[in-house]
Chains A and B, each alone.
Chain A
Amino acid sequence: MKLNLSPERIAVIIFVVAIAAAPFVIQNNYQIFMLTLIGLYTMLTVGLSLVMGYAGQASLGHATFYGMGAYITALLSARLGVPSWAALLAAGVLSALIGYVLGVPIFRLRGHYLAMATLGLNVIFVLIMKNEVAVTGGPSGFTDIPPLSIGGFVFDSDVKLYMLVWAATLAVMAHALNIVNSRVGRALRAIHTSEVAAESLGVDANSFKLKVFALGAGYAGIAGGLYAQAIHFISPSSFDILVSIELVTMAAIGGLASIWGSIFGAATVVLLAQFIRDKLAEGLGLTGELEIIVFGFLLAIIMVLLPEGLTTGGLRLFREWKARGKL
């Protein structure tokens, strides 16, 4: 067996080792939980990056599928007695299927109308979750969701959850990277740049859009299921359009067409949100959701100045300035 130790591979190995070692080094449960949350958001951002960054399709309602995964897991495991691992798998598969089916009418639209349709989808989803009180618990939420247990091993501590979520996140990232560096990835990027040219070479653009949307929905569904099984309580407001905008901000910061960048984007937004909530709001004497103002502003600036994303755009600028001798 040939050992291929390029600099990239070594960096990946170091990264995975760091992720695995982190909870034993940090030892602070709250911080470990923050890192777990970053893992979940990374999973969500990777899916969004594939849909928006690679395929170039607007998705301003991605939190819909996060919520779908959470509620499917909750309903199956807490109400219908389905084993927790099966409920988690079902969350991913069903979210993907629903994403595909909803994509059929949605992708008949283009541009701004497509974006509005995805927003509308999110709004409708949250409304249904709030109103179907008998099924979902309504605005007060759904409680007593059992944790994931596989063959008697229960994921009920902060460290165990951290390991579970990051294992899943790394698997999702590997899957997404495989897709990006394949015939499918090239077809998606082609569709993004020139759908008419892609079609002229035999690429069925609509089919690819539906499938990548379904894939993103599937990743989000798994993240939602893991979230439900970690917190044991979910409510509709955790999956509303403000969360979707946060996800787009994460993708924009991490680089819209960058799988690795998704970690950076998720980490930045989670930590920034915490900083704003704890330090800034207190310092300025403000209450309410100050983060969304900051994120909205940040997103607007990034989209105007560096539409390919902060990280991707920043790297490009760095390369250009270096070439021109400015650095």
Chain B
Amino acid sequence: MERRLLASHSKVDAAISGNLLGHRPGARVSLYAVLEPDDMVARCQRGDGEAFRQLFLRHRAEVARLVFRMVGPRAELEDIIQEVFLQVHRSLKDFRGQSKFTTWLHRVTVNVVLMHRRAAKSRPQLVPPHADEVHVDSRLSPDEDVARLERMRAFRRVIDQLAEKKRTVFLLHELEGLSPAEIANIVGAPVLTVRTRLFYARRELAEMLRHEPTLAAFAQAFERSGSEERVELSKTIGGAR
């Protein structure tokens, strides 16, 4: 940690003299723009308010994306993102640098989302409109976009039916593109367990498509299509990446 701080100080000195990152001598550069993530975290842990703000600015997009992938287009999206960063602020002092900060941030985000989902279960739910009742103004959107929108709604409903652990792994892997090893770090499970959850998540989802009218029709379209793409399909959906 001492070495890290020294490195940080040298960057500060360089920032003052303007010799960092090719800036012309005498030019001022923002310290926070050149800080490594670890240095930024160290500053946050020492109570540097501006560092925390910069941390927020730097990572808010990825947190928002992850939260959105996990909860979907919900009204409380902003509240959850806000809660993630508050939790980060509360827990940052416990971050020991044993993993990458982004991995730790993902873990915090996943935990906040899961807590939110559990809390939401105990609250009365607003029933979303049934697919048949959804009014889409076809004058405003092309047919394909409308169909895709409805597919995504149905797919979200199906994903929500998955068990929590399988759903989390599926979303992190398939939608966020995280590797099983990264997911293992985030959810605190062995990599093999992650792969197993992923396998069963896919299988269950494929089965659930049959019971969701919109998605069943979508799948039937593939069934009607030629068999030339089946080999490629098997490769695509095969094992975990």
Q: Do A and B bind each other?
A: no
Q: Which residues of A contact B (CB under 8 A)?
A: none
